[in-house]
Structure 1
Amino acid sequence: MSVPNDEWLVVIDRQKVFAESDWSDWACPNGSFHTTDAAFSALAKAYGDRVAYTRYVAPTPALNAWVDYFKDWPQFLVPPDDPMYDLTADTAALAVGHPVVSKDTFGKWGDELAQAIDGAKRIALCGVATDCCVITTALAAADAGVAVRVVADACAGSSPENHQRALDTMALFTPLITITDSATVLG
């Protein structure tokens, strides 16, 4: 396995709230979160020290448009250290020793993530949800001049259809954003 030595893996929001459908309305449906486990694990191991993780946390307090948003989702308006926002156990185990960036926005790209990846200008993205936090991160990173590869089989969406729609939308931004799979990335 070999990945480009100037590319970082950014793992988007592999958290309990998006994985555990028995209690979370935000979880990827029908266990689809877990269909990405093997690809994610292989990628995280292959990138070695060049992996950063992100976590979505609710804004405290919710302001502006987020006030109306959380009227529909009050159960998720909890402090950032609430266990629902913890990384899943397998993700947390691989994240030890790596930067973890927590943001109260869907898109995770910004100064904090750029610093976490040492200013790298190439990233591969995996995680959830393809049609929310992955796409908003990919677009913002690409706008900042970062070459983005989205590893489709290591991402899951709010539905299979929305996952595909998001991939199709991001593909419109080729060559800034490239859609790929873990077999290709891992060589």
Structure 2
Amino acid sequence: MTNSKSSTATGGAKRHLVVIDMQRAFREAGEWHIPRYDEAARTIAALSASGMDPILTRFVPDPEEKGSWSSYYDRWQSMRLDPADPLWDIELQGVEVRGSIDLPTFSKWGEELAERIPVGEEMVLTGVATDCCILATALGAADAGRYVTVVEDACAGQSDAAHDQTLDLLELLAPMVRVVKSDTLLV
């Protein structure tokens, strides 16, 4: 594959930095707290500062709670919040927020990301939680023919074990999905 837009490990395809759900709901103490959120946030800021323009997403609940989502929120009742609640705000120091793709689903892969990331181009995937929304988004994007690079130190999971297990699983999908450390992209 040849493309003169930028050079990557995917053969020269353009890179798109996608930042999944870096929101107050996952940073603050509470049921959905992600312990290494701040570490991932610092790495995401470094990637953004290196010239990769971020595409930000937000998990925003659907008040209708269609189908199994009602049972999901029965489990996490404290998160049954209005979509406009400040807990859903993006919290990512050092990264300019110029809008976001808002979805009530784990996967953020869909029409909006597909329009921004053409087939054959590379999605550099960062954010939270590795073992939920990162995994779901990576699978959807790979199924749709996008190269997915998951930046392990720019992601954080519900626990270190869950994070590591998910990265091991994603590595099985090479070459469609690859897992790298940020220093390989910051050179």
TM-score by length of 1: 0.88
Give the aligned partner of residue 119 of structure 1: 118
* Residue of 81, 87, 91 corresponding to 2:90: 87
Distance 1:152 1:62 in 2: 31
After TM superposition, give the deviation of residue 119 of structure 1 in Å. Answer: 2.8
Query: 1:59 and 2:62 equivalent?
Result: yes
After TM superposition, give the deviation of residue 47 of structure 1 in Å. Answer: 3.4
Runs of at least 5 residues in structure 2 that lack an aligned partner in the other structure: 1-5
| Matched positions, count | 177
Counterpart of 1:54 in 2: which secondary structure? strand
Cα-Cα RMSD:
1.7
After TM superposition, give the deviation of residue 89 of structure 1 in Å. Answer: 4.8
Of residues 32-41 and 166-175 in structure 1, the stretch that sits farther from structure 2 once superposed is: 32-41
Aligned ranges 1:136-175 → 2 under 5 Å: 136-175=136-175
Give the aligned partner of residue 3 of structure 2: none
Confirm or deny: 8 A CA contact 2:117 2:123 kept in the other structure.
Answer: no
Distance 1:129 1:156 in 2: 6
Query: 1:34 and 2:38 equivalent?
Result: yes
Runs of at least 5 residues in structure 1 that lack an aligned partner in the other structure: none
Give % identity.
37
What is the letter of the counterpart of residue 27 of structure 1? H
Distance 1:96 1:103 in 2: 17
TM-score by length of 2: 0.88
> More helix by proportion, 1 or 2?
1
Confirm or deny: 8 A CA contact 1:59 1:77 kept in the other structure.
Answer: no
Confirm or deny: 8 A CA contact 1:12 1:134 kept in the other structure.
Answer: yes
Distance 1:175 1:89 in 2: 30
- Judging changes above 3 Å, is the alpha-carbon distance between structure 1 residues 47 and 138 closer, same or farther for their aligned structure 2 residues? farther
Counterpart of 2:139 in 1: which secondary structure? helix
Give the aligned partner of residue 9 of structure 1: 17
Counterpart of 2:95 in 1: which secondary structure? helix
Deviations 1:41-95 (A, max 9, x none): 11112234x32000001122101111111101111122221100000151xx623
